[in-house]
């Protein structure tokens, strides 16, 4: 029987081992044996805490999604921020050191690819995409008419995903994550400034 309080620790160790193993070997080649060996635990422990490889993979995706949320909440802190500042922080959170870490980018790419074939991963991918769009819309609604806000939120979300993907797939490109952040922030500023000019006129 596991010691009291060890369950969260063991689960986290297995999730981290899964992320590291998938980053090294790829989704198809990753086995429970590989994961348990990296974690320094027996294969039976995985069944005890997660039931199957699939459940462990899903838990790993939820962990990465949670990391993205934690990055944003950490940047927001408890201070009051304007709608425009909040939009900029959302962009930064999606390109934080956590999100562009090599192992994490490889896992995100893997999960996105697998979501086309796995219903649960597809659901998680949709939840994550919807959360980004809704977070952006919440702030844009304070700055723009509702229809423009919806369009701006969807466009910004697409830019974030697109630039992140471009950065993740090729480090040979001249673009780096700071440039990607700059492009996304530039679009947001342009939309806001256009609305301000329209209101003045």
pTM for the whole structure: 0.85
Each residue of 39-76: pLDDT tens digit? 998 888 888 889 888 899 999 999 999 999 998 888 88
What residue ranges do the domains of the chain occupy? Answer: 1-51, 64-200
pLDDT of 4: 43
Per-residue pLDDT, 182: 95
Rounded Cα gap, residues 107 and 94, in angstroms: 15
CB 175: neighbour CB atoms within 10 A?
A: 14
Taking CA atoms, 13 is separated from 47, 60, 93, in Å, by 14, 11, 24
CB burial string 90-107: b at 16+ within 10 A, e below: bbbbbbbeebbeeebbbb
Residue ranges in the chain whose pLDDT is less than 70: 1-6, 171-175, 196-201
Which fold is adopted by the domain 64-200?
A: Tetracycline Repressor; domain 2 (1.10.357)
Is there a contact between 144 and 152 (Cβ–Cβ < 8 Å)?
A: yes
CATH no., domain 1-51 = 1.10.10.60
Going through the chain in order, the beta strands assigned E by DSSP cover none
């Amino acid at each position: 029987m596991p010691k009291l309080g060890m369950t969260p620790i063991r689960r986290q160790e297995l999730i981290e081992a899964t992320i590291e193993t998938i980053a090294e070997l790829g989704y198809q080649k990753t086995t429970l044996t590989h994961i348990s060996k990296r974690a320094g635990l027996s294969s039976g422990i995985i069944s005890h805490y997660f039931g199957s490889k699939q459940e462990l993979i899903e838990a790993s995706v939820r962990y990465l999604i949670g990391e993205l949320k934690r990055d944003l909440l950490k940047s927001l802190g408890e201070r009051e921020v304007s709608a425009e500042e909040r939009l900029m922080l959302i962009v930064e959170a999606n390109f934080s050191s956590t999100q562009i870490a090599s192992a994490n980018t490889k896992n995100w790419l893997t999960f996105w690819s697998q979501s086309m074939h796995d219903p649960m991963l597809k659901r998680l991918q949709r939840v994550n995409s919807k959360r980004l769009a809704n977070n952006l819309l919440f702030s844009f609604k304070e700055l723009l008419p509702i229809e423009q806000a919806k369009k701006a939120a969807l466009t910004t979300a697409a830019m974030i995903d697109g630039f992140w993907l471009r950065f993740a797939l090729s480090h040979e490109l001249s673009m780096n994550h700071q440039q990607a952040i700059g492009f996304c922030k530039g679009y947001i500023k342009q939309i806001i400034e256009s609305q301000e000019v329209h209101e003045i006129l």
